[in-house]
A = this chain, B = another copy of it.
Amino acid sequence: MPPEPVVLYVCTTCRAEGDGAEIRAGARLMTALAARLGAAPVPGLRIEPVKCLSVCKRPCTVAVASAGRWTYVYGDLDAESSAATILDGIGLYAGTPDGIVPWRARPEAFRKGVVARIPAFPPRAAPDLPEAAE
Interface status of A9 (Cβ within 8 A of chain B):
yes
Interface status of A96 (Cβ within 8 A of chain B):
no
Known contacts: A13-B131, A53-B118, A134-B54. The answer to whether A7 contacts B71 by CB under 8 A is no
A interface, by DSSP: helix, strand, loop or mixed?
A: loop
Q: Considering the chains assembled together, what is the distance between the CA atoms of A115 and B54 in angstroms?
A: 7
Interface members, chain A 43-72 (any B CB < 8 Å)? 48, 50-55, 61, 63, 65, 67, 71-72
Which residues of chain B are within 8 angstroms of A77 by Cβ–Cβ distance? none
Q: Considering the chains assembled together, what is the distance between the CA atoms of A134 and B11 in angstroms?
A: 13
Count residues of A near B (Cβ-Cβ below 8 Å): 33
Interface status of A34 (Cβ within 8 A of chain B):
no
Q: Considering the chains assembled together, what is the distance between the CA atoms of A9 and B116 in angstroms?
A: 12
Interface status of A129 (Cβ within 8 A of chain B):
yes
Bitwise, A69-96 to B at CB < 8 A (1) or not (0) is 0011100000000000000000000000
Q: Considering the chains assembled together, what is the distance between the CA atoms of A87 and B119 in angstroms?
A: 20
Which residues of chain B are within 8 angstroms of A13 by Cβ–Cβ distance? 131
Which residues of chain B are within 8 angstroms of A129 by Cβ–Cβ distance? 51-52
